Amino acid sequence: MSQDVKNRIDYLTDYLSECNYQYYMLDNPTISDFEFDKLLEELINLEKNHPQFAHQNSPTQRVGGTITKVFPTVKHDFPMLSLSNTYSEEELFDFDKRIKDFGIENPEYICELKFDGIAISLKYENSNFVQAVTRGDGVQGDDVSPNVKTIYSIPLTIKNSFVEKFEIRGEIIMPHKVFHRLNEERVAKGEEPFANPRNAASGSMKLQDSAEVAKRRLECYLYNVHAENIPHKTHSESLEALKEHGFNVPDNFKVCKNMQEVQNFINYWDVERKNLDFDIDGIVVKINDYALQQQLGSTAKSPRWAIAYKFKAEQVSSQLREITYQVGRTGAVTPVANIEPVQISGTVVKRASLHNADIIRDLDLHHFDWVFVEKGGEIIPKIVGIDLEKRKTDAQAVEFISHCPECNTKLIRQEGEAAHYCPNEDNCPPQIKGKLEHFIARKAMNIEGLGEGTIELLFDKKLLRNVADFYTLTYDKLFGLEKTIEATDEKPERTISIREKGASNIIKGIENSLKVPFERLLFALGIRFVGETIAAKLAQHFKNIDALMSASYDELLEVEDVGEQIANSLINYFSDMNHMFIIEQLKSFGLQMKIDETATSVSQKLNNQTFVVSGVFSISRDEIKKMVIANGGKNTGSISGKTDFVLAGEKMGPEKKKRAESLNIPIISEEEFYKMIE
């Protein structure tokens, strides 16, 4: 009986692997999808009930289902080098000259596409896939085997025999059509779209659930093989052989007898790449002969026998229609060039970012100019130049706006900053929404059930004007609300509506946020320059909101890592009546306005003593500082009359030592500190 099960598992494993190969690699389906799914289902069930017979590289691995919490770090058997880049013909000819100067008279080159994805190293033993490791830092990378097994173009078992043990390297890419579909899905779910297919491929490789990776439909192109006793003399022979063994080696490599042929290959693909369904960013030129590769060797970073010719980013020209200005969540005003729509790298471009007033000035942009637009790795293309010949003589230079397009407040530009800001932070609509979104974020109050769309809806219905308003929401106020949000460049039109479940989730999320610790509430208020870490330090130092609000400028500077900019920002924030009112309201709703001493405290042995921790210790400085706080003490960054102890590790700066001595502040060692808290 169990022999029958084993035989059936063996049979299905082989048969379905072959079906996959025929379908994905040869584009030659041999059975119907229905039949395939039925047999796969049977195999999944058999493997579940008889795991002892399951093959490690079974076709069931293609659908994923393995959860990897942490990808193990693996050292590469030999480093994954990079390639030196060239951007011009001259540099390419220099490469050829270097090879010839080395004594190689008529080098034979092989030209390949330079795939723009993420490098991967695949190990095989006895015709079986064993491990896939990312490039990492070139010396060691992450073992992402379960995720890689879901990629159909990577064989899990190899046809015919090959050398017993080998490693093959290549590039994982996301095809354009998969990329566009994935981004549409992400946007529909309210998630950030990926900037480009490379980022999407890289993000996919790091997913913990391999079933999710399987859905991403990644592909892998292979370009290098490493083994002892390779039975081939040239790289092109190896590539041909790899193809025979079922590896996804592209057909479009070419052996070139001279630089003219290399040049032709480059010129051909510089145009033809627009018709590929994946990104390439150049051409790799390699010496074909393995013995010559060996002779030339490598530097620490890259082989001397190969070079990458990088294509220039695609540029097109189009006419400027108008400049519009976007006010961001922080009040920063970004100018955007709206241009006549043009096709670039496969997408229609209507807008290009101008970043700030300096960029407009440096470009000397005039209204209705013809501009050159370039699309690099970013979603939003940029303007890289102006076609002055097409400018009309009476064209007017573009002047940056003086008032906020959202609330008409006069814009300000701080010394040394590139951006213009709208200072009306509490009444300018995008800034209010930005503050509300920041408040509910995971690292802030973590209010579940609410998102960017619902905030937009509640703002629109005038239910939210500041962060205290969250706590005035009720089920009845929420239930039944609806709004259609217009399409933007990034997101299509969508309708947000709140039904029973949505309303009760929001209310539950808001109730739960009452327990969020003080330091996170402080961060959630969105005080300029007060990030997560500073908020935690302020909370630990002052212990409660009242002490923080009444702190003087000098007292604020005593807190570790708080400098003039943060101190000024805090003073400004707390001197605003509107903010005081919001804080009073939050207090009355029962939010956490003081630190929970019981949560972190171990003892009160250092009660309110102020420490400056400096130098190198047997454990990290951060650990030491945590111990100070856990025992009721405070940390500050610089030594002043208020410092009680300087805790000195090795290599403490001589200036600090002098200052402590001149102020008569006791300098204690790590051991003495441990005694104090024993």
As annotated, the active-site residues are: 114
Whether 448 and 509 have beta carbons less than 8 Å apart is answered as yes
Closest separation between CB of residue 171 and ligand IVH, Å? 5
Q: Other C-beta atoms within 10 Å of 472: how many?
A: 12
Distance of CA 632 to the CA centre of its chain: 38
Binding status of residue 132 toward ligand IVH by CB under 6 A: no
CA distance 306 to 540: 56
Closest separation between CB of residue 592 and ligand IVH, Å? 49
Smaller CB separation from ligand IVH, 307 or 521: 307
Rounded to 5°, the CA angle 432-436-440 comes to: 170
Binding status of residue 121 toward ligand IVH by CB under 6 A: no
Binding status of residue 174 toward ligand IVH by CB under 6 A: no
CA distance 95 to 98: 5
Closest separation between CB of residue 289 and ligand IVH, Å? 16
Binding test (CB under 6 A) with ligand IVH, winner from 7, 45, 82, 552: 82
Binding status of residue 318 toward ligand IVH by CB under 6 A: no
Smaller CB separation from ligand IVH, 114 or 216: 114
Binding test (CB under 6 A) with ligand IVH, winner from 25, 31, 63, 81: 81
Q: Other C-beta atoms within 10 Å of 375: how many?
A: 20
Closest separation between CB of residue 110 and ligand IVH, Å? 9
Options 75-83, 504-512, 563-571, 656-664: segment touching ligand IVH (CB under 6 A): 75-83
CA distance 437 to 431: 10
DSSP one-letter code for 21: I
User: How long is the chain?
Assistant: 678
Smaller CB separation from ligand IVH, 303 or 430: 303
Residue 268 identity:
Y
**Residue partners of 227: CB distance under 8 A and separation at least 6:** 163, 165, 166, 167
Closest separation between CB of residue 271 and ligand IVH, Å? 19
Smaller CB separation from ligand IVH, 224 or 356: 224
Binding test (CB under 6 A) with ligand IVH, winner from 9, 40, 249, 284: 284
Size of the site for ligand IVH (CB under 6 A): 14
Options 112-120, 432-440, 441-449, 560-568: segment touching ligand IVH (CB under 6 A): 112-120
Binding status of residue 114 toward ligand IVH by CB under 6 A: yes
Binding status of residue 279 toward ligand IVH by CB under 6 A: no
Closest separation between CB of residue 121 and ligand IVH, Å? 10
Binding test (CB under 6 A) with ligand IVH, winner from 183, 224, 466, 610: 224
Q: Other C-beta atoms within 10 Å of 299: how many?
A: 9
Whether 503 and 512 have beta carbons less than 8 Å apart is answered as no
* Residue 487, burial from CB neighbour count under 10 angstroms (0-12, 13-18, 19+): exposed
Inter-axis angle of helices 259-272 and 89-101, nearest 10: 150
Smaller CB separation from ligand IVH, 269 or 470: 269
Smaller CB separation from ligand IVH, 219 or 406: 219
Whether 241 and 224 have beta carbons less than 8 Å apart is answered as no
**Residue partners of 68: CB distance under 8 A and separation at least 6:** 144, 146, 147, 208, 210
CA distance 109 to 456: 58
Smaller CB separation from ligand IVH, 120 or 411: 120
Tokens 């294509």, residue located: 311
Q: Other C-beta atoms within 10 Å of 170: how many?
A: 26
Options 113-121, 316-324, 452-460, 506-514: segment touching ligand IVH (CB under 6 A): 113-121
Binding status of residue 198 toward ligand IVH by CB under 6 A: no
Smaller CB separation from ligand IVH, 279 or 558: 279
Smaller CB separation from ligand IVH, 235 or 420: 235
Read out DSSP for 91-114? HHHHHHHHHHHTT-SS--EEEEEE
Binding status of residue 112 toward ligand IVH by CB under 6 A: yes
Binding status of residue 219 toward ligand IVH by CB under 6 A: no
Binding status of residue 83 toward ligand IVH by CB under 6 A: yes
Closest separation between CB of residue 286 and ligand IVH, Å? 7
Binding status of residue 171 toward ligand IVH by CB under 6 A: yes
Binding status of residue 115 toward ligand IVH by CB under 6 A: yes
Binding status of residue 119 toward ligand IVH by CB under 6 A: yes
**Residue partners of 207: CB distance under 8 A and separation at least 6:** 147, 213, 216
Binding test (CB under 6 A) with ligand IVH, winner from 179, 223, 269, 470: 223
Tokens 């102006």, residue located: 386
Nearest Cα to Cα of residue 229 among 174, 164, 168: 164
Binding mask 296-315 for ligand IVH (x = CB under 6 A): -------x--x-x-------
- CA dihedral (375, 378, 379, 382) positive or negative: negative
Where along the sequence are the contacts to ligand IVH (CB under 6 A)?
Answer: 81-83, 112, 114-115, 119, 171, 223-224, 284, 303, 306, 308
